[in-house]
Structure 1
Amino acid sequence: MMTNGTVFGVIVAISFCHLLNDMMQSLLPAIYPDLKAELGLSFGQVGLVTLAYQITASILQPIVGLYADKRPTPMALPGGTLFSLAGLTVLSSAHSYGLVLIGASLLGVGSSVFHPESSRVARMAAGGRHGLAQALFQVGGNVGQALGPLAAALVVMRWGQSSLAFFALLALLSGTVLWNVANWYRHHGLTRLKVGGPAMTAGALPKGRALRGILILLALIFSKYVYLASLTSYFTFYLIHRFGLSVENAQLHLFAFLAAVAVGTVLGGPLGDRFGRKYVIWCSILGALPFTLLLPHVGLFWTGPLTVAIGLILASAFPAIVVFAQELVPGKVGMISGLFFGFSFGMGGLGAAALGWIADRTSIETVYQLCAFLPAIGLLTAFLPDVEAERRRSSVA
């Protein structure tokens, strides 16, 4: 079991910590309406808050992952939670735009440590079921993202911005769990990660084909996360402006969308293990296109079901994309995980800033009319290499 089997206890532990991490961090966009009203922010300034958070994580995650590949540091896992604690503490008492940006940046640093190292742990504990392990790890984050707006609607909207300090205490719980995970990582995980490593590297694709595959996967991440940024950052504003919903009701709609994202994520990993990751990527990115095209043109009754369908379909791609990329560049689990988590954060941040700029100069409805075409980038999936076929050809040669 400790050598070859799937260690579900470890996977569940990091998934739970992913839930806590992303729930704490999703409180930031959940309080945007309050921050916008209290500080008199424009949509562009709201987008810059997301950019500060996402870019901090985007730049640091590949660096953390590359460093961990060369010099594994298990205790970085519990240590990283201190940045999330500090970020929420700052945000709980931030009454100036500068402090909001500092708090958002601290949250980004916490993510930059947590995601690449935890993704490495998921692969260590996978026992060959890499898609399932990555999906179970990722779904914890999606559930946490879904709980953030719900927590904001039930707690933050009632007791105000200062209640964020209560959620900061969850970082201490996460740190305790991750301390135990770090001990397993140090004593068992590194050995498991090395098992099969030489064989994987021997069957690696030529650098040119692998690089082409990585660039295509990054383009797919761009389409997915810019579209998701339009919903996570601005969906509540869209519902309030177009349909006259209250902030609380809009947050509940956002919760339904994020819950669908969680379900889609947990389905995507095992489906990729069984049917092939390329097929899951095809269906996930391109399959959302009909629904995104319809969304800007329907009333409130259909807006909810359409956003749930979009979240369910789009989310299934990420575990398949990460594992596909890890197979393209074997032996660089931390770097690849950091690159893709970081790039997704960066694209989400840049997308939020750009979409806020567009909303200020046109309308919030225009944002969704433009973003509707992003899933068409999924056509690039046709040019992804067939990893298994390429490896078979390499081994025969």
Structure 2
Amino acid sequence: MTTTAISAGRSRTHMAVLVMLGLTHLLNDLMQSLIPAAYPILQKAYALDFVQIGMITLTFQIAGSLLQPVMGMVTDKHPTPYSPVVGMMFTLSGLVSLAFAQSYGGILVSVALIGIGSSIFHPEATRMARYAAGGRQGLAQGIFQVGGQAGGALGPVFAALIIVPLGQPSLAWFAAAALAAMMLLTWIGSKQRQISAEFAAMRSAGKKDGRSYIRHAPLTVGIGLTVLTLLTFSKNAYNESFRTFYTFYLMERFGLSIPSAQMMLFIFLAAAAIGVLIGGILGDRIGRYRVIWISVLGPLPLTLILPYADLFWTGVLTVLINLIMASAFASILIYAIELLPNRIGLIGGLFYGLNFGLGGIAAAILGGLADSYGVEAIYRICSFLPLAGLLTWFLPRIDEGR
């Protein structure tokens, strides 16, 4: 039978906790985004080719992906409210190590530490966002993810203003962001017992009223997670072409300076911050299924035009593409949680891990293509990736028929 996760009553939405979670996500992803933002400097200092740059991304994102599902499964059985603080310690050590790395191998070790820190942060933070949401899951994930997207967008700005003028050692200054995040995460961890108790009471009240979460058939879960994974890969592969290679594309095709290209990257990434929040809110109103259709397949006409646009329209199109495409992730994540509502940590770890792992694989492949055919060629190839949105047709309908 068709099953759905039916709201089991409502607990109050803890906006203060959600805002703090969004802020810590901002700081976490800001520190992550400094890695690709520093690529032009690292390329010049170490004479790196595009394959080596892609391998830096792959190392960082694989380290960030492998542990996340494991951490999610562990925290599902044994919630650890202060584990994100530990994760931030790894990020702090990786950032300082990267600032003073003297070799390509040192760079790889440093970015791996940052990836491990992120893998510890996301599963438990996702659980807290779920618990603190009350009955407004889309809004909660939107706030949490808008923090991450905003942090990712700020990386190129700090690169243009600080890292490019002052060099690689200036990365160590951002250790202050890790320390601030650790303090905020300690406060959030102190609230988990109260918030999780309210969430459990909401679930219990739903069971008494006959509105509890219904267990989905294994086939439904398998098909749903497979489709969502493929959609995530297509979205991340396209996004990675920008995160890793957009500055090189702008510098090569339009002759922009590094700071100007970094500011263009900031504008592109800032659009994602707006998109995830809009997507989360729309998902609460019109259903996750419709949002996924629109956000994954919708950018196709724009991506096909982009490789042939001039500088002005390149800026306009990249903003529109990321605004639409970014709106998918909140709905994809909540859709997956509704398929397995008792495995919040696992789903959070799996899908944030997929963001890292699949993006890293895409970056390595695209790096090889860039070396062989040029940076401009990867945008012509990637322009067809939104066609994967047609896979949404096979996604099980679990959002109450909307």
Give the TM interval when normalised to the shorter protein: over 0.9
What letter is aligned with 2:298?
G
Q: CA deviation at 1:216?
A: 0.3
Q: Secondary structure at the residue paired with 2:80? A: coil
Contact 1:220 1:378 in 2 (8 A): yes
Number of the residue aligned with 2:302: 291
Contact 1:284 1:315 in 2 (8 A): yes
Q: Distance in 2 between matches of 1:58 and 1:41?
A: 24
Residue 202 to residue 258, structure 1, CA distance change in 2 (3 Å): closer
Q: Distance in 1 between matches of 2:12 and 2:115?
A: 33
2:253 to 236, 242, 262: 242
Q: Distance in 2 between matches of 1:346 and 1:126?
A: 27
Residue 159 to residue 212, structure 1, CA distance change in 2 (3 Å): same
What letter is aligned with 2:321?
I
Q: Distance in 1 between matches of 2:291 and 2:213?
A: 26
Number of the residue aligned with 2:52: 45
Contact 1:39 1:95 in 2 (8 A): no
1:109 to 108, 116, 133: 116
Q: Distance in 2 between matches of 1:333 and 1:193?
A: 13
Residue 305 to residue 203, structure 1, CA distance change in 2 (3 Å): same
Number of the residue aligned with 1:35: 42
Contact 2:213 2:341 in 1 (8 A): no
Number of the residue aligned with 2:5: none
Contact 1:201 1:330 in 2 (8 A): no
* Cα displacement string for residues 99-132 of structure 1 (whole angstroms, at most 9, x for unaligned residues): 1001100010110011111111000100011111
Q: CA deviation at 1:192?
A: 3.1
1:191 to 190, 197, 201: 197
Q: Distance in 2 between matches of 1:388 and 1:87?
A: 41
Contact 2:129 2:144 in 1 (8 A): yes
Number of the residue aligned with 1:395: none
Q: Distance in 1 between matches of 2:365 and 2:399?
A: 38
Q: Distance in 2 between matches of 1:388 and 1:251?
A: 39
Q: What are the residue-to-residue correspondences of 1:223-242 with 2, within 5 Å?
A: 223-242=234-253
2:359 to 342, 345, 348: 348
Q: Does 1:98 align with 2:105?
A: yes
Q: Secondary structure at the residue paired with 1:169? A: helix
1:273 to 278, 284, 300: 284
Q: Does 1:144 align with 2:151?
A: yes
Q: CA deviation at 1:33?
A: 0.5
Number of the residue aligned with 2:293: 282
Number of the residue aligned with 1:13: 20
Number of the residue aligned with 1:206: 217
Q: Distance in 2 between matches of 1:380 and 1:265?
A: 21
* Cα displacement string for residues 359-378 of structure 1 (whole angstroms, at most 9, x for unaligned residues): 11111111011100111100
Number of the residue aligned with 1:337: 348
* Cα displacement string for residues 296-328 of structure 1 (whole angstroms, at most 9, x for unaligned residues): 111112100000001100000000000010001
Contact 1:6 1:128 in 2 (8 A): yes
Q: TM-score, normalised by structure 1?
A: 0.96
Q: What are the residue-to-residue correspondences of 1:47-86 with 2, within 5 Å?
A: 47-86=54-93
Residue 269 to residue 389, structure 1, CA distance change in 2 (3 Å): closer
Q: CA deviation at 1:86?
A: 0.5
Contact 2:84 2:122 in 1 (8 A): no
Residue 311 to residue 74, structure 1, CA distance change in 2 (3 Å): same
* Cα displacement string for residues 4-34 of structure 1 (whole angstroms, at most 9, x for unaligned residues): 1000000000100000110011000000011
Q: CA deviation at 1:189?
A: 2.7
Q: CA deviation at 1:330?
A: 1.4
Q: TM-score, normalised by structure 2?
A: 0.94
| Unaligned segments of structure 1, at least 5 residues | 393-397
Q: Distance in 2 between matches of 1:329 and 1:96?
A: 44
Q: Distance in 2 between matches of 1:201 and 1:66?
A: 22
Q: CA deviation at 1:95?
A: 2.1
Q: Does 1:89 align with 2:89?
A: no
Q: Distance in 2 between matches of 1:105 and 1:182?
A: 25
Q: Does 1:167 align with 2:174?
A: yes
2:32 to 25, 32, 37: 25
Q: CA deviation at 1:201?
A: 6.4
Q: Distance in 2 between matches of 1:389 and 1:189?
A: 27
Contact 2:237 2:363 in 1 (8 A): yes
Q: Distance in 2 between matches of 1:388 and 1:348?
A: 28
Q: Distance in 2 between matches of 1:53 and 1:388?
A: 35
1:158 to 165, 169, 172: 165
Q: CA deviation at 1:197?
A: 4.2
* Cα displacement string for residues 39-59 of structure 1 (whole angstroms, at most 9, x for unaligned residues): 011100000000011001110
**How many residue pairs were aligned?**
388
What letter is aligned with 2:196?
L
Q: CA deviation at 1:196?
A: 4.5
Q: Distance in 1 between matches of 2:341 and 2:31?
A: 32
What letter is aligned with 1:364?
V
Number of the residue aligned with 1:134: 141
Q: Which moves more between the two structures, 309-318 or 379-388?
A: 379-388
Q: CA deviation at 1:168?
A: 1.3
Q: CA deviation at 1:80?
A: 1.2
| Unaligned segments of structure 2, at least 5 residues | 1-9
Q: CA RMSD in A?
A: 1.4
